[in-house]
Amino acid sequence: MNPSSDRTRLALLELLATHAFERRKVILSSGRESSFYCDCRKVTLHPKGLRLCAELMFELYRSNFPRVSAIGGPTLGADPLVAALILRALEEGEVLEGFIVRKEAKSHGTGRLIEGLTSVGKGAGVLIVEDVLTTGASVLHAVRAAQNEGLEVRGAIVLVDRLEGGSEALEKARIPLRSVFTISEIAETHDRLMPPHLS
């Protein structure tokens, strides 16, 4: 990485560590209990945080997954990331379509599982993005939805890998993965910047 990328990475790491990471017991969407939580939406729904996410994830996209026609992911965590990445690509003269994968198909209207992809044909390459990777279930749900539309999933980029089996699940599914951060980096930075208060 160049010095500018290093500064961007450090700035985003510190934002996630101080605004998204909490040490408390919580039940994750996977059903597992955890002693900490990383709510990336506190950063991805803030303009400065989202800009940093877009810069770093776009860099990973450009260096690892060229030649895709669309970027999408599972709602809700991926929604701001998808929008930011297709705008970032446009700034570089690259037109990518965005798409969002619902948890389940709508029971009314079009009944679609995927929103978007209006101008992307079958066989096109797509990239899946997500804010947090735990077991990999939500990313794999988006992968299967895209594949069922006849698209070729080139890989996935996540903002934070919780290191709880998600990367192995994607590897088993033969989906290349890149992550911006691991939860270990964020936890260590959180503990350094926000030491516990003495009672």
The third-level CATH classification (topology) of the domain covering 46-181 is: Rossmann fold (3.40.50)
- In this predicted model, what pLDDT tens digit does every residue of 20-59 receive, in sequence order? 999 999 998 788 899 999 999 999 999 999 999 999 999 9
Question: 132-167, pLDDT tens digit by residue?
Answer: 999 999 999 999 999 999 999 999 999 999 999 999
Chain mean position to CA 41: 11
pLDDT digit string, tens, across residues 99-129: 999 999 876 666 789 999 989 999 999 999 9
Bridge-based pairing state of the strands 97-101 and 114-116:
antiparallel
Interatomic CA distance for residues 195 and 54, integer angstroms: 29
Domain chopping of the chain, boundaries: 46-181
Q: How many CB atoms lie within 10 A of CB 188?
A: 13
| Structure confidence at residue 197 as a pLDDT band (50, 70, 90) | low
Q: List the single range of 9-18, 56-65, 176-185, 189-198 with lowest mean pLDDT.
A: 189-198
**How many Å apart are CA 44 and CA 36, to the nearest integer?**
19
For the four alpha carbons of 143, 128, 125 and 98, in that order, the dihedral sign comes to positive
